[in-house]
Amino acid sequence: MNTAIMLALAACSTALVAALAPLILRQPVAQRTGLSLLLAVTGLLAMIAGIYGLVLGGDALILPLGLPWLPMHVRLDALASFFCLVIGSLLFPVAIYSQGYLRDEPRLTPLAIFMPLFVLGMLGVVLSDDAFTFMLFWELMSVSSYFLVTFKHENLENRKAGYIYLVMAHLAGLLILGSFAVLYAAAGSFEFSAMRDATISPFWASAAFLLAGFGFGTKAGVVPLHGWLPEAHPVAPSNVSALMSGIMLKVAIFGFIRVCWDLMGPGDFQWWWGALVLAAGSSSAITGVLMALQQHDLKRLLAYHSIENIGIILIGLGLSMLLAHFGHPMLAALGLVAALYHTINHALFKGLLFMGAGAVLHSTGTRDMESMGGLIHRMPWTAALFLVACLSISALPPFNGFVSEWLTFQTALMAPQLGGALLTAIVPFSAAMLALAGALAATCFVKVFGVVFLGHARTEVAASAHEVDNWMKVGMAIPAVFCLLLGLLPVLFIPLMDSVPELLLHASLAGSIHAHGWLWLTPIDIAHSSYSAPIVLIGMLVLGGLAFWLLHPKGRTIRRSVMWSCGNPHVNARMQYNATSFSQPLRRIFAGIYRPEEDLNIERSRHKLLADNVRYAVHIGDMAVQYLYQPIGKLTLYAAKLLQHEHQRGIHAYLAYTFITILFLLAVYI
Amino acid sequence: MSSASVQIIQAVMLLLFAPLAAGFVSTCKARLQNRRGAGVLQPWRNLRKLFKKEVVMAHHASWVFRFAPYIVFTATLMAASVVPALLVDTPLSLTADVIALVALLALARFFLALAGMDIGTAFGGMGASREMTFSALAEPAMLMSIFVLSLSAHSTNLTTMITHTLNSPFALHPSLAFAMVAMVMIAVAENGRIPIDNPTTHLELTMIHEAMILEYSGRHLALLEWAAMVKLLLFSTLIVDLFIPWGMTAQADLTGVVIALGLWVVKVAGLLFVLAVFETSMAKLRLFEVPEYLSGAFVISFLGLLSYYMLEVGA
C-alpha cells in the first residue's frame, strides 16, 4: 500500500466522518464549522493524493468490505489520480466558502449529512476497481445529490427539479449498469482487471460503448439528455451547485473514459464512435451556449454553460477516439490531454462562477439578473474574482480556458486526412463549431458581467447589496489564482498529467510539450504551433503600465461628471440594456432554433403614434423538453392507461401471469 | 542588424503607421468622392488633440471603464507585435500563433464591450450587444479560413506558414482564393468598416463600434481610436503575410529589411486602396443582413476547405 492510495482512502474516511459528525454536533455553528473543516481536509487530502498518484504512481488494494464473494477493489491509477486532483482542487475552496455561505442557514442537518456523502460517492467512483463498487458509489452520489437539490423542499420548483433529476439519474444508472453487464458477459467477472484483459467482439463493444455513452452522457448533461441539468443546478444551494457543476459532471466524464479507454481500450474503437462523440460534443457546445444566452436567471445560465463546456470536453475526447482509431497515438494523446485540461479548467472556473453567483444571491436575495446592476461598486472583491472566471470561461488569454480550447483546436487542425471525405470534413466543421461556441460564450459573459456588476442598480436590493465575508472571498480567490496559474504555466502542468495518456494510449507528450523551453507551449513541435502565456502577460503588463505611466498626469484625479444623455434630463436605470435586450439580436438571428414566444403590448390612448405603455415579454422553452421529453412522458402515461385495465383483473388472472412468467423463465434458462 | 532590433522596429512601425493608414484610406475615399479630404496626417492631428484634452468620466464609472482603454490598447499592440511584417522569423512571432492572435483581439473586444456596459446608457449596451454578437458569428469563418491555410503548411505559426508560401513554387491554389475572399470579408467586419459598420458615423442608430466608446474622452478616447487604427493595419499586414508574402526577408540584414519595408508599404497601400474603393461604391448593410454576410464568409471558407481536399491533395 503506497502513500498515494493511503491519502485517497484517508480523504474518503474524512468524508465519511463528516457525514457522521451531525450525530454528535447538534448546534448549527458547530455543524457548519465541522462540515467546512472536514470537507476542506477531504479536499486537501484528495488533491495531495492526486498529485502523488500522478507523479509516483498509485496502487491497487482490496478492502475487507462489501459482499462476501466480492470484496471492494480500489485502485489509484493515473486516471483516478487526475480526477482525485480535480475533485480536491475544487472541494477545498468550496469548503472554505461554505463556512461563510451557510452562516445564515437555520436548518443545516440535511446539508451536513448529504454533502459529505455526495463527496464520498464521487471519490468512491473514481477509486473503484470493480463494477459493483463503482455502481454502489455512483448511486450514493446520485441519491445524496437528490437530497441536496431538494434541500429547500418547501419550494415547488425544487421538488419538481429534484424529481426530474432522480428519474434521469436512475435512467443513467440503468444504462451504465447495462454497459457493465455487457463487459461482465465478456470477462466473466465484475473486476475491472478482468474486463481489461477480456477480448470483446466488435458488436458487443459497440453495445457497451452506446450504453456507457448514453448513461454517462445523461449524467454529464449531453444534449439532448440534459433536461435535468438546468432545473437541478439553479435550485441547489450555491456551494452544492458549484460541486455538482464543477465536479459531478466530470465524474461522468471519468466514467466514460474509464469504460471506453481503459476497460475496452483504443484497440476496440470503431470509426463511428469518435464521430458520434464529436457530433454530440459539437451539438452540446452550441445548444448549451445558445440556450445560456437567453437566460436571465443567473444560476440557470451558468447551468446551461456547463452543458456547453461538457460539449467542449467531448469534442476533445471524440477527436482523440478518431485519431486513436486511425493510428495516430500522439495526436490522440493530445486530444485526450486537451479534454482533461478542459475538465480541470471547467471545474475551477465554473466552481468560481457558481460561488460568485452564490455571493450575489446571498447579498441581494435574487437570482434574476434583470433586478441587479452596478454591483461592482458594492461588491468589489466578488466582482473582480467573478471577472477572472468570466475571462477564463470565455477562452481569453492569458487565462486557463484559452489553453485547453487552443489545444483542442490544435488537435483538430493537425488531424491528417482520416477515412473518407465525410470524416475529413467533420473534424474541421466541429472545430468551427467550437470557435462559434467560444465566441458566443464571450458574448454571454459580457452580458452576465455587464448586467450584474456594471451600470446602475436596477432595484433597491441591488443598490443596498453588501460585500460578502472573508471566508467566501478566500473560497473564491483560490480557484481564481488556479485559473491564472493553469493559464500561465500549462508547460508545467501538462507533464504532470502526462501519465494519463501514457496509461490509456501508451503515448506521451512529455517530449514535445516543452521541447522549446518552459516559456513556450508546443504541442507537437515549435514549427507547428506555439503559445507563450507568460510572455503575453508580461508584455501586456509592461506595455500597459508604460502607457499608463506616460499618459496619466501625476497627482491629478480624473474629473467626474454626469453621464451624457443626449440632452434628455430624465435618465433612469431602466433605460439600460438588460439581459433580455442584450440577447435580442441573437434571438432574432437564431429565431428558427429558439422559436421565441414573444408578447408585445403597446397601449395608445391619446394618439396612435404616442405610446403610453409598452410591455414586452418573451419565453423560450428548451426544445429537447418540448419535442423529446414531453412526448415520451405522454407515451408512458398512455401505455400506463392501457395497462390499467389489466391491473383490475381477478385473482386467477394474476395467477395466470405468474404461471406464464415462470414458464418463460424456465424456457429461457434451461 | 539583429532580429530583435527588427522586431522592435516592426512593432513601432505598425504603431506609428497605423494613423497614417487610416488617413490614407479616408484620403483615398475623399478623392474618389471628388473631395479634397483632410490629408493623410489628419488622424495624427486628431490623436494629438485628444491626448492634450482632459478626461471626464461619469460619476459611477468603475475601474473597468477606466482601465479598459489601456487593456484594449496593449492587447492590440501585443497582437500587432506578433505579426511579422518585414522579417519572416521574429523573436516574438513564436509567442502566439494565428489562433492566439485572434484570441488577443477577442480579449480587447471583451473589455471594450464591458466598458460600453459600464456607464449604463442605452447606447453603450447596444454597441456591446451588437459587437459581441457579430464578432461571434465571424469567428467560425475566421477559423475556417485559417484552417484552410494551415492545411498545406501543417502549421498555425505565422512564421512557418509564410516560409511555406515563400518556398513553394508559385501555383494557383483555388482553396487559397476562397480562403482569401473569406478572410478579407471577415477583416472588413472585424474592423467595423462599410458594409458592416461605418467608422465615420456618430450618433446613428445602427452604429456598433462608436456606440461603445461614446462616453470616452481625452487620452482614453485617443487610446481606443489608436487601437482601432492599429487593428486595421494589423489585419492588412496579416492578409499580406498569408497570401502575398513575397518580398519579406528571411535574414535581418539592412538591404533585405529596406526592400521588405518598401514592398510592405506598397502591398498594404494597395489593399487599403481597394478597401477605399469598396467603401465608396457600397452602401452599409441593414443590421440584420450582417449575419447573412458572415455566414456567406463561412460558406466560402468551407468551400475552400472542400476544394483543398478535392483538387489539391496529392497534386
Determine the Cα–Cα distance for residues A223 and A229; give it in Å rounded to an integer: 10
- What pTM, to 2 d.p., does this model score? 0.95
Report the alpha-carbon distance of residue A323 to residue A505 in Å, rounded.
11
Taking only residues 498 to 527 of chain A, the set having a beta carbon closer than 8 angstroms to any beta carbon of chain B reads 516, 520, 526-527
Give the domain range for residue B138. 3-312
pLDDT of residue A482 exceeding 50, the answer is yes
* Cα of B110 to nearest chain A Cα, Å: 7
CB of A613 closer than 8 Å to CB of A602: yes
* Residues present in chain A in total: 670
A residues 94..133 contacting B (CB < 8 A): none
Helices (H), A258-328: 271-293, 298-325
Q: Show Cβ contacts of residue B8 under 8 Å, excluding neighbours closer than 6 positions.
A: none
**Residue burial A371-410, b: 16+ Cβ < 10 Å; e: rest:** bbbbbbebbeebbbbbbbbbbbbbbbbbbbbbbbbbbbbb
DSSP letter for each residue of A467-532: ---HHHHHHHHHHHHHHHHHHH-HHHHHHHTTHHHHHHHS---HHHHTTT-TT-B-SS-TTT--B-
Name the residue facing B147 among A376, A428, A536 (closest C-beta): A428
Q: What is the pLDDT along chain B (315 residues), one digit of tens a residue?
A: 688 888 899 999 999 999 999 999 999 999 999 999 899 999 999 999 999 999 999 998 999 999 999 999 999 999 999 999 888 888 888 888 899 999 999 999 999 999 999 988 888 999 999 999 999 999 999 999 988 888 878 888 889 899 988 888 777 788 889 999 999 999 999 998 888 888 777 767 778 888 899 899 999 999 999 999 999 999 999 999 999 988 888 888 889 899 999 999 999 999 999 999 999 998 888 888 899 999 999 999 999 988 888 777 654
pLDDT tens profile A546-572: 999 998 887 778 899 888 887 887 888
Q: What Cα–Cα distance (Å) separates residue A356 from each residue in A39, A249, A452, A480, B210?
A: 20, 19, 11, 11, 32
pLDDT tens sequence across A104-126: 888 889 999 999 999 999 999 99
pLDDT in tens, A405-446: 999 999 998 877 676 777 778 888 899 999 999 999 999 999
In chain A, positions 38-77, which contact chain B (CB-CB < 8 Å)? none
Mutate which of A396, A554, A566 to disrupt the B interface (most B C-beta within 10 Å)?
A: A396
Give the Cα separation of A80 and A8 in Å (integer). Answer: 10
CA dist A134 and A75 (Å) reads: 11
In 3D space, the residue among A355, A352, A284, A316 whose CA is nearest the CA of residue A501 turns out to be A316
Alpha-carbon distance of A303 to A299, in angstroms, equals 6
C-alpha distance from A267 to closest chain B C-alpha (Å): 27
Predicted confidence at residue A419, as pLDDT, reads 67
Residue-wise pLDDT for A296-336, tens only, equals: 999 999 999 999 999 999 999 999 999 999 888 889 999 99
Please provide the average confidence, as pLDDT, over all residues in chain A.
91
Interchain pair A432, B156: CB under 8 A:
no
Which pLDDT score, from 0 to 100, does residue A646 have?
76
* Three-state secondary-structure class, residue B249: strand
State the Cα–Cα distance between residues B214 and B205, nearest whole angstrom: 13
Residue closest to B239 by CA, chosen among B207, B211, B257, B264: B264
CA distance A298 to A228: 17
Using DSSP's 3-state secondary structure scheme, residue A36 falls into helix
The total domain count for chain B is 1
CA A74, CA A84: separation in Å to the nearest integer?
A: 13
User: B114 vs chain A: nearest CA distance in angstroms?
Assistant: 6
∠A292-A297-A299 over CA atoms, to 5°?
A: 75
Average pLDDT, chain B: 90
Closest Cα of chain A to B154: distance in Å? 6
Give CA–CA dist A435/A441, Å, rounded.
10
Please give the pLDDT value at position A670: 67
| Per-residue pLDDT, A115 | 95
Beta bridge partners, A368, equal A297
Closest Cα to residue A512, out of A534, A499, A531, A495?
A495
**Integer CA distances (angstroms), B215 to A49, B69, B242, in order:** 52, 12, 37
Strand, helix or coil for residue A619: strand
Residue pair A274/A424 in contact by the 8 Å Cβ criterion: no
**Nearest Cβ partner of B128 from A394, A439, A446?**
A446
What stretches of A150-257 show up as alpha helix (H) in DSSP?
156-187, 192-197, 202-220, 229-235, 238-243, 249-257
Residues linked to residue A535 through DSSP beta bridges, in sequence order: none
- Angle formed at CA A659 by CA A654 and CA A660, multiple of 5 degrees: 100
Test B117 with A456 for CB contact under 8 angstroms.
no
Which residues does residue B246 pair with via DSSP β-bridges, in sequence order? none
Helix (H) or strand (E) holding A65, with range, is: strand A60-67
Nearest Cα of chain B lies from the Cα of A451 at a distance, in angstroms, of 8
Residue A662, all three cell numbers: 415462470
pLDDT at A415: 77
- Scanning A370-409 for CB atoms below 8 A from B yields 373-374, 376-377, 387, 391, 394-397, 402, 406, 409
Q: Which of A256, A367, A374, A391 lies closest to A316 in space, CA to CA?
A: A256
Mark yes or no for CB contact A539/B78 under 8 Å.
yes
Choose from A60-69, A79-88, A153-162, A531-540 the range with maximum mean pLDDT.
A79-88
Residue B315's pLDDT is what?
45
Contacts of A380 (CB under 8 A, 6+ apart): A467
For residue A598, give how far its alpha carbon lies from the nearest alpha carbon of chain B (Å). 18
Question: What's the rounded Cα separation, in Å, for the pair A498 and B303?
Answer: 38
Beta carbons of A450 and B70 less than 8 Å apart:
no
Cβ contacts (< 8 Å) between B106 and chain A: which residues? 394-396, 439, 442
Beta strands in A68-178 (DSSP E): 70-75
User: Which three three-digit cell numbers place residue B239?
Assistant: 492578409
Q: Which residues of B touch A378 (CB under 8 A)?
A: none
Nearest-CA residue of chain B relative to A552?
B219
Report the pLDDT value the prediction gives residue A149, as an integer from 0 to 100.
94
Residues of B in contact with A551 (CB under 8 A): 51, 219, 223
3-state secondary structure of A103: coil
Pull the grid cell for residue B210.
462608436
Smallest Cβ–Cβ distance between B103 and the set A395, A451, A561 belongs to A395
Q: For residue B195, say if its preceding peptide bond is cis, omega within 30 degrees of 0.
A: yes
pLDDT for the residue B314:
55
Alpha-carbon torsion angle B156, B158, B162, B164, nearest 10: -30
pLDDT exceeds 80 at position A669: no
